[in-house]
A and B are shown apart, each in its own frame.
Chain A
Amino acid sequence: AQSVTQPDIHITVSEGASLELRCNYSYGATPYLFWYVQSPGQGLQLLLKYFSGDTLVQGIKGFEAEFKRSQSSFNLRKPSVHWSDAAEYFCAGAGGQGNLIFGKGTKLSVKP
């Protein structure tokens, strides 16, 4: 069955430090993968998506993600975190019904 796993429930980084959020997927074929961000009390905003082609995907707000088929991963990265990046981040893959299958999310806290 298709699934998306985010191994880290909560991560804390210092402002200005680099960030990597992990995402692993279990799909038979090439998956369509997404990263969304959710600020407290808000809906989900799309950061970036991967369908095919270049495995390094650039998104909004300075985020990027790299698709690695050999590791079944689609990790999200940012070179320098800002306090406004504190939020919950969700990795998702396209399901067979056209919906999204979500990981359980990683909450990011940013230390001053």
Chain B
Amino acid sequence: DVKVTQSSRYLVKRTGEKVFLECVQDMDHENMFWYRQDPGLGLRLIYFSYDVKMKEKGDIPEGYSVSREKKERFSLILESASTNQTSMYLCASRGPFSYSGNTIYFGEGSWLTVV
């Protein structure tokens, strides 16, 4: 079975703190994604990575960075958390086009509250 694991489901952080959200997939997928989900806005792409140490900005990268040191792990970093980054964060992964038919698999989400 496909598995994307987000280690922290619920976090509360203070303004200005550095925050790490971790995501691990066990499918040997090249492509990994971080989305942010807000009511009424749907899911918006923050960053994605198509290979180890490679990253591309999505639609809303400001205030975020990412790290992909190993194929199975993709981390989202908030360098200095702000209250407007309170949200649900979803990690996802996908194999090459011919492997999985372009299906993207999601983790369970990480609820981040910045106070």
Contacts and interface: CB of A to CB of B under 8 A. Distances in A.
Interface of A: 9, 32, 34, 36, 41-46, 49, 51, 90, 94-95, 97-100, 102-105
Contacts of A34: 103-104
Contacts of A42: 108-109
Interface residues of B, number: 27
B106 interface: yes
Enumerate the 8 nearest inter-chain pairs by beta-carbon distance, A residue then B residue, closest first. Answer: A104-B42, A44-B106, A43-B108, A43-B106, A102-B43, A102-B42, A43-B109, A99-B45
Interface of B: 4, 31, 33, 40-45, 48, 50, 56, 58, 90, 92, 94, 97, 101-109, 111
Interface of B is mostly: strand
B107 A46 contact: no
Contacts of A51: 101-102
A98 B108 contact: no
B102 A103 contact: no
B104 to A, nearest CB: 5
Contact of A32 (B40, B48, B56, B102): B102
Q: Considering residues A34, A41, A44, A51, which has the most beta carbons from chain B within 10 angstroms of its beta carbon?
A: A44
Nearest to B104: A100
B70 to A, nearest CB: 20
B43 A43 contact: no
A98 to B, nearest CB: 6
Contacts of B108: 42-43
6 contacts: A41-B111, A43-B90, A44-B92, A90-B43, A98-B50, A99-B58
